[in-house]
Amino acid sequence: MIQTYLDRWVPIKTKLSKRVVIDKDDARPARLIRLRPVGFPIREMHRNYNINIENIELFELYAKEQWMGSIVSLADYLFDQRVIPDFAYQVTKALPTGAVKIDENTIIEIDTTDLKQDSESKRTKIKLADVIGHSQVKKKCRIVMRYLEEPEQFGDWAPRNVLFYGAPGTGKTMTARALANEVEADFMMVRATDLVGEFVGDGSKRIHELYSTAADNAPTIIFIDELDAIALDRSFQSVRGDVSEVVNALLSEMDGLRENVGVVTIAATNNPMLLDKAIRSRFEEELNFKVPTDGERLKILQSYALTLPVPLEADLAGFVKRIKGFSGRDIKEKLLKAALYKAMLEDSKTVTQRHLEESLKEIDLGISKPPGEMFS
Ligand SMILES: Nc1ncnc2c1ncn2[C@@H]1O[C@H](COP(=O)(O)OP(=O)(O)OP(=O)(O)O)[C@@H](O)[C@H]1O
Ligand SMILES: [Mg+2]
C-alpha cells in the first residue's frame, strides 16, 4: 500500500499480481506491524542507506502518526513522507494475518535483524590483500586503519583527508572499499557531482548531512569520487555559485570544524593538477596509483583467471609483455571478460591463448565493444 500526501485517500495497491481493493471497513485493526527499512525506489545503487533508528518507542509514535488508517498486509510498502521523504519500509510481519488497518493500538516494530544482515551482505568482502601491487599505498593506509580502530588515541593528530590519484581503473575505489572492510568501517561513496544540489543551499546541506551521518555511524570512510568535477579551479566555480557553495561546505568539513571523530575522507581523482589549490592543500596525504608493472599485471591476470567460470589455459607470463600500460580494470573487464565470452560462445571447455589474442587485437584496434554489446 502506498500512501502519499497527494493521494492519502486513494491507496494504490503495489503488488500487481493481486490487485485487490480492500474496503476500509473490512480490514481488521492491526495488532502488530513489523517494518523493515528497505531504501529508496530510485536512487543510485552504490550509496549507503543504512538508517539509524535510535529510539524505538519514538519511532513507533512517529510511524503510527504518519500511517494511521493505512491498510497493509504482508510485503506491502509504506513510504516515509517526512524525515526521509520516499524512504520505503516493507511490512515483514502483520498481525492478525491478512489486510489490517493501522490504528492507535497497533504495535509497530522495526525489523533490525534484517537490517544488520542487509548491510552485512551489501558489504563486499574485498580486502587489502586482494589489491595487487600498490605496496606504498597500502602501507600508508595502515595509519588510517589504526585511526578508524582507535580514534581516541589520535586526538588532534587524526588523519582526516587522503587523496587517491592516478589513471582510471588502477584500483582507487577498490582500495578505499577494502580499507573500510578491513576495519569494518562504514563506507559512504558519493560522486562529487551528486553533491551539487538543484537549489542554492541544497549542496551545503547535503555535505552537512553526509558528514553528520558519517559521524553518527563512525568509524566511517567517506569516499568522494571524481573530486575534480567540483573542485576544479576557482574560475569554474564562480560560474556556478552552487558549486562554490559545495566546495566551501566541503572545505569546512575537511578542516574538521566539527568534531568528526572516526571519520576519514578519501577523495579520488585522475588528475590532481586540475584541483583547486585550496582543496588540494587540505589533503595530508596524496597517494599515487600507478599502472601495474609487468609482475603486477601477471599477478592480476593470474588471480582473476582463477575466478573465471571457464578455466583459462594460456601462457600468461609471455602474454603480460603485450599488455603494457593496461590497468587492473583493463585486464579484468576488457581482456579477460572478452576472452571468456568468446570461449563461451564457442562452447569451448577452456579459455585459450587464441581467445586472449583475439580479444587483445580488438582492444588494440579500438573495436572492443562496450560490455552491453559483448554478447552480440
Ligand atoms: N591493483 C589491482 N588489483 C586487483 N584488481 C584491480 C587492481 N586495480 C584494478 N583492479 C580491478 O579493476 C576494477 C576497477 O578498479 P577501480 O574501480 O578501483 O579503479 P579506479 O582507480 O577507482 O578507477 P577510476 O579512476 O576510473 O574510478 C576493480 O574492481 C578490480 O576488479
Ligand atoms: Mg573509482
Both 213 and 246 in one domain: the answer is yes
Q: Do 104 and 271 form a contact (C-beta atoms < 8 A)?
A: no
Asked whether residue 275 is assigned to any structural domain, the reply reads yes
Judged against a pLDDT cut of 80, whether residue 257 lies above it is answered with no
Both 73 and 216 in one domain: the answer is no
Confidence of residue 122 (pLDDT cuts 50, 70, 90): very low
Both 223 and 271 in one domain: the answer is yes
Asked whether residue 214 is assigned to any structural domain, the reply reads yes
Ligand 1 centroid, distance to 365 Cα (angstroms): 23
Report the CATH number that the domain containing residue 139 is assigned in CATH.
3.40.50.300
Higher pLDDT, 27 or 354: 354
Q: Facing residues of 91 across strands?
A: 35
Query: Which bin fits 87, alpha (ψ -120 to 50), beta or left (φ > 0)?
Result: beta
Q: Among 241, 272, 289, identify where a domain stops.
A: 289
Across residues 253-264, what is the average pLDDT?
85
Ligand 1 centroid, distance to 42 Cα (angstroms): 26
Higher pLDDT, 111 or 319: 319
Ligand 2 centroid, distance to 119 Cα (angstroms): 21
Question: Which of 341, 327, 344, 335 shows the shortest CA–CA distance to 368?
Answer: 335
Q: How many domains does the chain have?
A: 3
Asked whether residue 9 is assigned to any structural domain, the reply reads no
Both 195 and 147 in one domain: the answer is yes
Both 250 and 337 in one domain: the answer is no
Q: Do 183 and 262 form a contact (C-beta atoms < 8 A)?
A: no
User: What's the CA angle centered on 255, arms 253 and 259, to 5 degrees?
Assistant: 65
**From CA 111, how far away is CA 108, in angstroms rounded?**
10
Asked whether residue 86 is assigned to any structural domain, the reply reads yes
DSSP 217-234: T-SEEEEEESGGGTSS-H
Ligand 1 centroid, distance to 50 Cα (angstroms): 25
Atom 27 (ligand 1): residue with closest C-alpha? 168
What ligand 1 atom has the least distance to the C-alpha of 167? Answer: 25
Element (H, E) at 147: helix 135-149
Protein residues whose CB sits closer than 6 Å to any atom of ligand 1: 131-134, 168-174, 268, 270, 289, 300, 328-329, 332
Ligand 1 centroid, distance to 172 Cα (angstroms): 6
Strand spans (E) along the chain: 28-29, 32-39, 71-72, 77-79, 88-95, 100-101, 107-110, 161-166, 186-191, 220-225, 263-269, 285-289, 312-313, 351-352
Both 99 and 140 in one domain: the answer is no
For residue 86, what are the domain limits? 16-114
Mean pLDDT rounded to a whole number for the chain = 82
Asked whether residue 10 is assigned to any structural domain, the reply reads no
Report the CATH number that the domain containing residue 321 is assigned in CATH.
1.10.8.60
Neighbours of ion ligand 2 (CB under 5 A): 172-173
Q: Among 289, 318, 347, identify where a domain stops.
A: 289
What is the per-residue pLDDT for 118? Answer: 42
Both 158 and 206 in one domain: the answer is yes
Both 145 and 258 in one domain: the answer is yes
Asked whether residue 136 is assigned to any structural domain, the reply reads yes
Question: Which of 101, 65, 70, 107 shows the shortest CA–CA distance to 83?
Answer: 65
Q: Give φ, ψ of 44 to 5 degrees.
A: -70, 140
**How far from chain centre, in Å, is Cα 283?**
22
- Give just the sign of the alpha carbon dihedral 197, 201, 204, 205: negative
Give the dihedral of Cα atoms 151, 157, 161, 163; nearest 10 deg: -110
Share of the chain above pLDDT 90, in %: 45
Both 285 and 137 in one domain: the answer is yes
Both 127 and 260 in one domain: the answer is yes
Question: Which of 280, 299, 267 shows the shortest CA–CA distance to 135?
Answer: 299
What ligand 1 atom has the least distance to the C-alpha of 133? Answer: 1
Both 280 and 314 in one domain: the answer is no
Query: Strands of 71-72's sheet, edge to edge?
Result: 28-29, 100-101, 71-72
502506498: which residue's cell?
2
Asked whether residue 8 is assigned to any structural domain, the reply reads no
Report the CATH number that the domain containing residue 80 is assigned in CATH.
3.10.330.10
What letter represents residue 59's amino acid? F
C-alpha cell read off for 83: 524525515
Judged against a pLDDT cut of 50, whether residue 351 lies above it is answered with yes
**From CA 48, how far away is CA 190, in angstroms rounded?**
9
Asked whether residue 6 is assigned to any structural domain, the reply reads no
For a pocket test of ligand 1, which of 131, 135, 164, 174 has the largest count of ligand atoms closer than 8 A to its C-beta? 174
Higher pLDDT, 38 or 281: 281
What ligand 1 atom has the least distance to the C-alpha of 269? Answer: 25
What is the per-residue pLDDT for 241? Answer: 60
What is the per-residue pLDDT for 112? Answer: 65
Ligand 2 centroid, distance to 224 Cα (angstroms): 9
Both 182 and 206 in one domain: the answer is yes
Q: pLDDT digit string (tens) for 24-81? A: 567 889 998 998 888 777 665 445 556 777 787 888 888 988 999 999 988 889 998 8
Q: Among 114, 140, 175, identify where a domain stops.
A: 114
What ligand 1 atom has the least distance to the C-alpha of 177? Answer: 18
